[in-house]
Amino acid sequence: MFNSLRMLGVIPLDHRPDDGLPKLKAPRYSPRPISKDQAIMLMTTAREPMREWFMFACLAGLRACEVARIEGSWLEKHADGYFLRIFGKGNTEIVVPCHPKLVELIQSKNVLGRLYYIDANWLSRNACAEMRRLGIATRRNGVSGPKLSFHSCRHFFATQILASCQNLITTQRLMRHASPTVTARYADLVSGEERKIVDGFLSDINWVS
Protein backbone atom coordinates (compact mmCIF):
# COMPACT_ATOMS: atom_id res chain seq x y z
CA MET A 1 0.00 0.00 0.00
CA PHE A 2 2.79 2.41 0.96
CA ASN A 3 4.80 1.70 -2.20
CA SER A 4 1.70 2.12 -4.39
CA LEU A 5 0.89 5.50 -2.87
CA ARG A 6 4.50 6.60 -3.31
CA MET A 7 4.48 5.55 -6.99
CA LEU A 8 1.25 7.53 -7.54
CA GLY A 9 2.88 10.61 -6.03
CA VAL A 10 0.52 10.72 -3.07
CA ILE A 11 3.47 10.17 -0.73
CA PRO A 12 6.84 11.88 -1.44
CA LEU A 13 9.58 9.55 -2.69
CA ASP A 14 11.90 10.52 0.16
CA HIS A 15 9.28 9.87 2.83
CA ARG A 16 10.00 7.08 5.26
CA PRO A 17 7.11 4.97 6.58
CA ASP A 18 8.33 5.32 10.16
CA ASP A 19 8.55 9.13 10.08
CA GLY A 20 6.45 10.66 12.80
CA LEU A 21 5.86 7.37 14.56
CA PRO A 22 6.91 6.98 18.21
CA LYS A 23 10.13 5.09 18.74
CA LEU A 24 9.86 1.52 19.90
CA LYS A 25 10.23 1.21 23.63
CA ALA A 26 13.14 -0.83 24.89
CA PRO A 27 11.98 -4.05 26.53
CA ARG A 28 11.61 -3.78 30.27
CA TYR A 29 14.23 -5.44 32.40
CA SER A 30 13.72 -8.95 33.67
CA PRO A 31 12.84 -9.30 37.34
CA ARG A 32 15.79 -10.11 39.60
CA PRO A 33 14.44 -11.56 42.84
CA ILE A 34 16.58 -12.34 45.83
CA SER A 35 16.75 -16.00 46.82
CA LYS A 36 14.68 -17.51 49.61
CA ASP A 37 17.79 -17.85 51.80
CA GLN A 38 18.63 -14.19 51.23
CA ALA A 39 15.07 -13.16 52.07
CA ILE A 40 15.16 -15.11 55.32
CA MET A 41 18.52 -13.57 56.21
CA LEU A 42 17.28 -10.03 55.55
CA MET A 43 14.10 -10.54 57.56
CA THR A 44 15.86 -12.10 60.54
CA THR A 45 19.39 -10.66 60.82
CA ALA A 46 19.27 -7.19 59.23
CA ARG A 47 19.63 -4.24 61.59
CA GLU A 48 16.58 -2.32 62.72
CA PRO A 49 14.57 -0.69 61.28
CA MET A 50 15.83 -2.14 57.99
CA ARG A 51 14.77 -5.64 59.00
CA GLU A 52 11.20 -4.34 59.18
CA TRP A 53 11.49 -2.71 55.74
CA PHE A 54 12.65 -6.02 54.27
CA MET A 55 9.68 -7.77 55.90
CA PHE A 56 7.22 -5.41 54.22
CA ALA A 57 8.92 -5.95 50.86
CA CYS A 58 9.29 -9.74 51.12
CA LEU A 59 5.95 -10.55 52.79
CA ALA A 60 3.72 -8.00 51.05
CA GLY A 61 5.64 -6.93 47.95
CA LEU A 62 5.69 -3.28 48.99
CA ARG A 63 7.81 -0.79 47.05
CA ALA A 64 10.19 1.57 48.85
CA CYS A 65 7.78 4.47 48.38
CA GLU A 66 4.97 2.41 49.93
CA VAL A 67 7.03 1.30 52.92
CA ALA A 68 8.18 4.88 53.55
CA ARG A 69 4.63 6.20 53.87
CA ILE A 70 2.83 3.26 55.50
CA GLU A 71 0.58 4.11 58.44
CA GLY A 72 -0.67 2.04 61.35
CA SER A 73 -4.28 2.87 60.46
CA TRP A 74 -3.85 1.08 57.14
CA LEU A 75 -4.09 -2.26 58.96
CA GLU A 76 -7.76 -3.21 58.92
CA LYS A 77 -9.52 -6.10 60.60
CA HIS A 78 -12.21 -7.72 58.46
CA ALA A 79 -14.46 -10.68 59.15
CA ASP A 80 -12.00 -13.08 57.53
CA GLY A 81 -8.78 -11.64 58.95
CA TYR A 82 -6.46 -8.67 58.71
CA PHE A 83 -5.97 -6.68 55.53
CA LEU A 84 -3.54 -3.94 54.59
CA ARG A 85 -4.67 -0.84 52.71
CA ILE A 86 -1.91 0.18 50.33
CA PHE A 87 -1.54 3.51 48.58
CA GLY A 88 0.79 2.83 45.68
CA LYS A 89 2.09 4.48 42.53
CA GLY A 90 -0.19 7.09 41.01
CA ASN A 91 -2.16 7.27 44.28
CA THR A 92 -3.76 3.92 43.53
CA GLU A 93 -5.48 2.33 46.51
CA ILE A 94 -6.10 -1.34 47.16
CA VAL A 95 -6.76 -3.60 50.14
CA VAL A 96 -4.90 -6.92 50.26
CA PRO A 97 -4.57 -9.72 52.86
CA CYS A 98 -1.83 -8.99 55.39
CA HIS A 99 0.74 -11.59 56.45
CA PRO A 100 0.47 -12.52 60.17
CA LYS A 101 4.05 -11.38 60.87
CA LEU A 102 3.27 -7.96 59.40
CA VAL A 103 0.10 -7.76 61.49
CA GLU A 104 2.23 -8.45 64.54
CA LEU A 105 4.81 -5.86 63.47
CA ILE A 106 2.30 -3.07 62.79
CA GLN A 107 0.39 -3.73 66.02
CA SER A 108 3.62 -3.62 68.02
CA LYS A 109 4.17 -0.03 66.86
CA ASN A 110 0.89 1.00 68.52
CA VAL A 111 0.50 4.07 66.31
CA LEU A 112 -2.14 5.08 63.78
CA GLY A 113 0.08 7.51 61.90
CA ARG A 114 3.19 6.90 59.81
CA LEU A 115 5.48 4.13 60.96
CA TYR A 116 8.61 5.62 59.36
CA TYR A 117 9.22 9.32 58.79
CA ILE A 118 11.69 8.76 55.97
CA ASP A 119 12.13 9.41 52.26
CA ALA A 120 11.79 6.52 49.79
CA ASN A 121 15.18 7.18 48.19
CA TRP A 122 16.85 7.32 51.59
CA LEU A 123 15.18 4.03 52.48
CA SER A 124 16.44 2.37 49.27
CA ARG A 125 20.02 3.58 49.74
CA ASN A 126 20.22 2.39 53.34
CA ALA A 127 18.55 -0.92 52.51
CA CYS A 128 21.09 -1.55 49.74
CA ALA A 129 23.94 -0.70 52.12
CA GLU A 130 22.57 -3.23 54.59
CA MET A 131 22.30 -5.85 51.85
CA ARG A 132 25.95 -5.29 50.97
CA ARG A 133 26.91 -5.58 54.65
CA LEU A 134 25.24 -8.98 54.71
CA GLY A 135 27.10 -10.10 51.58
CA ILE A 136 24.41 -9.59 48.94
CA ALA A 137 25.65 -8.06 45.68
CA THR A 138 23.79 -4.84 44.85
CA ARG A 139 23.89 -2.45 41.93
CA ARG A 140 26.43 -0.15 43.53
CA ASN A 141 29.25 -2.36 44.74
CA GLY A 142 30.77 -3.19 41.34
CA VAL A 143 30.30 -6.96 41.53
CA SER A 144 29.79 -8.69 38.19
CA GLY A 145 26.62 -10.64 37.54
CA PRO A 146 23.02 -9.81 38.49
CA LYS A 147 22.77 -6.73 40.68
CA LEU A 148 20.09 -6.79 43.33
CA SER A 149 18.36 -3.95 45.17
CA PHE A 150 15.64 -3.37 47.74
CA HIS A 151 13.13 -3.76 44.89
CA SER A 152 14.43 -7.33 44.42
CA CYS A 153 12.57 -8.20 47.62
CA ARG A 154 9.34 -7.27 45.85
CA HIS A 155 10.36 -9.53 42.97
CA PHE A 156 10.92 -12.32 45.51
CA PHE A 157 7.37 -11.85 46.79
CA ALA A 158 5.98 -12.07 43.25
CA THR A 159 7.82 -15.28 42.36
CA GLN A 160 6.86 -16.95 45.64
CA ILE A 161 3.17 -16.08 45.23
CA LEU A 162 3.09 -17.16 41.58
CA ALA A 163 4.86 -20.44 42.37
CA SER A 164 2.43 -21.13 45.22
CA CYS A 165 -0.88 -20.37 43.53
CA GLN A 166 -0.03 -20.80 39.81
CA ASN A 167 -2.57 -18.02 39.18
CA LEU A 168 -1.50 -14.96 37.21
CA ILE A 169 -4.56 -12.88 38.14
CA THR A 170 -4.16 -13.53 41.88
CA THR A 171 -0.49 -12.60 41.66
CA GLN A 172 -1.34 -9.50 39.63
CA ARG A 173 -3.76 -8.29 42.29
CA LEU A 174 -1.36 -8.90 45.17
CA MET A 175 1.41 -7.12 43.25
CA ARG A 176 -0.97 -4.27 42.28
CA HIS A 177 0.10 -4.47 38.63
CA ALA A 178 -2.00 -2.54 36.13
CA SER A 179 -1.95 -5.43 33.66
CA PRO A 180 -1.34 -9.21 33.85
CA THR A 181 1.21 -8.80 31.05
CA VAL A 182 3.48 -7.11 33.60
CA THR A 183 2.99 -9.97 36.04
CA ALA A 184 3.70 -12.49 33.27
CA ARG A 185 7.35 -11.40 33.33
CA TYR A 186 7.72 -13.49 36.47
CA ALA A 187 6.44 -16.67 34.85
CA ASP A 188 9.83 -17.70 33.45
CA LEU A 189 11.32 -17.48 36.95
CA VAL A 190 9.01 -20.18 38.28
CA SER A 191 9.42 -22.61 35.39
CA GLY A 192 10.58 -25.23 37.89
CA GLU A 193 6.98 -25.51 39.00
CA GLU A 194 5.98 -26.23 35.41
CA ARG A 195 8.49 -29.09 35.37
CA LYS A 196 6.87 -30.57 38.49
CA ILE A 197 3.43 -30.32 36.89
CA VAL A 198 4.53 -31.95 33.64
CA ASP A 199 6.48 -34.70 35.39
CA GLY A 200 3.49 -35.54 37.59
CA PHE A 201 0.82 -35.22 34.92
CA LEU A 202 -1.24 -38.45 34.71
CA SER A 203 1.51 -40.26 36.60
CA ASP A 204 -1.03 -42.79 37.90
CA ILE A 205 -1.47 -44.42 34.47
CA ASN A 206 -0.20 -47.97 34.20
CA TRP A 207 1.60 -47.95 30.86
CA VAL A 208 2.38 -51.67 30.95
CA SER A 209 -0.20 -53.49 28.85
Q: Where are the domains of the chain?
A: 36-188
- Round the average pLDDT of the chain to a whole number and report it: 83
SS3 assignment for 59-116: HHCCCHHHHHHCEHHHEEEECCEEEEEEECHHHCEEEEECCHHHHHHHHHHCCCCECC
**Buried-state track 161-187, b at ≥16 Cβ within 10 A, e below 16:** bbbeeeebeebbebbbbeeeeebebbe
> What is the per-residue pLDDT across 154-166, written as a single tens digit (0 to 9) for each?
999 999 998 888 8
Q: What pLDDT is recorded for position 26?
A: 45
**Which is higher by pLDDT, 193 or 156?**
156
For position 187, what pLDDT does the model report?
79
Enumerate the H helices of the chain as residue ranges.
2-7, 36-45, 50-60, 64-69, 100-109, 120-133, 151-165, 168-175, 180-183, 191-200
pLDDT over 90 percentage in the chain? 50
Instruction: Pick the closest to residue 159 from 125, 183, 126 (CA basis).
Output: 183
- Contact indicator for 24, 113 with CB cutoff of 8 Å: no
Burial of 126 (0-12, 13-18, 19+ CB in 10 A): middle
Q: Give the rounded percent of residues in the chain with a pLDDT score beyond 70.
A: 73
> What is the dotted CATH code of the domain comprising 36-188?
1.10.443.10
**The pLDDT of residue 207 is above 70:** no
**What is the spatial distance between Cα 48 and Cα 73, in angstroms, rounded to a whole number?**
22
* Nearest-5° Cα angle at 22, 17 to 26: 115
Decide if pLDDT at 138 tops 90: no
The answer to whether 14 and 6 are in contact (CB under 8 A) is no
pLDDT at 152: 94
pLDDT-derived band at 193, boundaries 50, 70, 90 = low
Looking at per-residue pLDDT, the higher value among 200 and 104 belongs to: 104
Q: Is the pLDDT of residue 60 over 90?
A: yes
